[in-house]
Homo-oligomer: A and B are copies of this chain.
């Protein structure tokens, strides 16, 4: 049977949607496709037509075989046909984007993305209730949303807040992003419930290295995926600029202090302009911190001038690194300042990838422009020679950093393949930072979906890391309370935890993973059980989403879902969003909806007032299952230093591998009896957390021998990007 015949015979199917080239769109066709019955509530044929560039769409009843024949006679290939399987009297006044399933056997993500014409972003913005003056359009498919919306909707009750987390993953990832996108596609495009996905913006560097894109995949993607994966609306570029301005200011200041007398420094810092010296606002603020209350620069004593002009940065304590959004391994350790003009003041330092910048973490945690400015000013870049913290504010650069970040603070609106709204905003590292998208995007989305709507956001890595930080760091910063946790698992990852062979990126999977093996699955569910228990410590209901692969057997799928339910999950359902879009995640959507009405006993894991060591120990024991922690002397000394500097009451952001519950990536399942070694402790004071290092964290990925860019190309005629995946 042909695909079309099968569709025609399916009783659930109400109509077909054809996508035709403009040339095929003759009056003959127009007459032939006139619908004989009301298809999906669209009675007027013209209403059903959307013209995107050179593609026309029209809805026909499934019985309209004549159309297909006519087209075939004309020699037209009907590339995409989709069945309209549900009626959607909707809450958002949505013009839905129907999913076009390709008939080609294998479609890459970018081919699927390109096969779908996104609706103009200003139309989506209107559909979800944004006013014209609340958006800033960036091209046809992206818009920034202004924070003034929060003020306008301040009396609107928030929607439900859903977190997507995962079990301990294989190095391939288990599909949290695709579940997130599939879930909102199901909620909004199929169940008629307002929803919003809030995603992290991926780093551009890895797109050209090994990883490829990060916009979801298959039929659960954010589109256009090339925009999502490349410059987007420039937020990461803004972070790079701000980060590096601060870095340049540190070294330039040190050089100037090392080569000038107090008097020369003072004359330059507070220069004579039209015969007068004046402190700038940021200099007055510094004077105040120094306890100098004078306003007239002429009246400072030599001692006060000395205090004012000298930051006395101890260069051995500088923790602020430069960043670049490129996988550039040769910048992992470098020596700077070797030109003659820098007079011998060279030092060793490093570049990190841009998303590792503390400014990214600040963007993700901030609640307003003034809060962001304050956090930027509080960034500690080093200690001075007396052991006191030196901040961005001390360098006089707070305002400039805020100016560079003024647009980045606005979340970017995009859409899923099925035309439902997505915010893309902030993408901090999940080890040295907290790995969650922005507080502001979540807050805006919770207002926009309304009381009955859902906001689905994702936490990086496994639940032991991303989710723990979501609760203890992000929710603390936002004051928001999550309603449901969706825990993503795959049969593949469970088999690995059950003792299956190593899973290595780029190497074909061993047969244990492609053939049914109930023993491995059931053994591996220990990790699932542990992650469910972790979630339950926070008092939020958990739904297991089993991301189904083609090779998973029905028995394996049933087994996982049964174990999950026995382990305390509110529900456990298989998901087929990758191959089916939102339709494949409807069961999950229903489960999430029910779970959101459960009683919610949300609580943080630890009290902020506890000593730093105590907080680390609680996370290690209660989350990771460690017996205890062990601090290196360096870690102990840093903890003492931060405590003494008054930073002891910040939350903790563990920098630990995501490949095991323990610190040992090779230990799968549920490791026990280990002592978690804390090698060092650092702080992101502006972002507002202390981050203990459990092992070495790579903050600069490299390019492999054959980077992705060998396959990436631009067609100069169509302007289409090829080879992203």
Contacts and interface: CB of A to CB of B under 8 A. Distances in A.
Contacts of A402: 713-714, 716
Interface of A: 53, 133, 136-140, 144, 204, 208, 226, 230-231, 234, 237-238, 240-241, 244-245, 247-249, 251-252, 255-256, 260, 265, 268-271, 280-283, 322, 324-339, 341-342, 346, 348, 350, 368-370, 373, 396-400, 402-404, 406-407, 506, 702-714, 716-717, 719, 721-724
Nearest to A326: B244
Contacts of A348: 338
5 contacts: A251-B328, A269-B710, A280-B710, A280-B711, A368-B716
Residue among A280, A326, A350 with most chain B CB within 10 A: A326
The number of times this chain is found in the oligomer is 2
B327 A332 contact: no
A398 B721 CA distance: 13
A600 B373 CA distance: 56
A339 B328 contact: no
A247 B328 CA distance: 8
B333 A338 contact: yes
Nearest to A721: B403
A335 B334 contact: yes
The 9 closest A-B pairs by CB, nearest first: A399-B713, A370-B716, A400-B709, A237-B237, A332-B339, A248-B328, A333-B339, A268-B705, A252-B703
Contact of A403 (B230, B240, B346, B406): B230
Interface of A is mostly: mixed
Contact of A136 (B139, B328, B338, B373): B139
A336 B337 CA distance: 12
Contacts of A338: 332-335, 348
Nearest to A335: B335
B230 A231 contact: no
Nearest to A338: B333
- Most chain B beta carbons < 10 A, residue from A338, A368, A400, A723: A400
B331 A706 contact: no
Contact of A399 (B240, B268, B399, B709): B709
Contacts of A140: 136
A705 B260 contact: yes
A551 to B, nearest CB: 15
A224 B198 CA distance: 31
A699 to B, nearest CB: 11
A570 B139 CA distance: 44
Contact of A703 (B249, B283, B328): B249
A404 B373 contact: no
A399 B711 CA distance: 8
Contacts of A369: 714, 716, 719
Given A139-B137, A260-B705, A328 B244 contact: yes
A324 B242 CA distance: 12
Contacts of A332: 338-339, 341-342
Nearest to A709: B400
A285 to B, nearest CB: 11
B234 A703 contact: no
Contact of A330 (B342, B506, B713): B342
Contacts of A368: 716
A330 B347 CA distance: 9
B328 A400 contact: no
B234 A707 contact: no
A293 B602 CA distance: 66
A265 B327 CA distance: 20
Nearest to A718: B369
Contacts of A336: 330-331, 334
Contact of A271 (B325, B404, B706): B706
A328 B243 CA distance: 12
B406 A721 contact: yes
A681 to B, nearest CB: 22
Nearest to A405: B714
B326 A245 contact: yes
A568 B69 CA distance: 75
A269 B704 CA distance: 10
B399 A712 contact: yes
A410 to B, nearest CB: 10
Contacts of A396: 707, 709-710
B249 A709 contact: yes
A403 B714 contact: yes
A33 B513 CA distance: 79
Contact of A400 (B137, B208, B237): B208
Nearest to A282: B710
Contacts of A238: 231
A712 B247 contact: no
A404 B566 CA distance: 50
A711 B397 CA distance: 9
A588 to B, nearest CB: 31
A132 B140 CA distance: 11
Contact of A709 (B237, B245, B335): B245
A245 B329 CA distance: 11
B406 A719 contact: yes
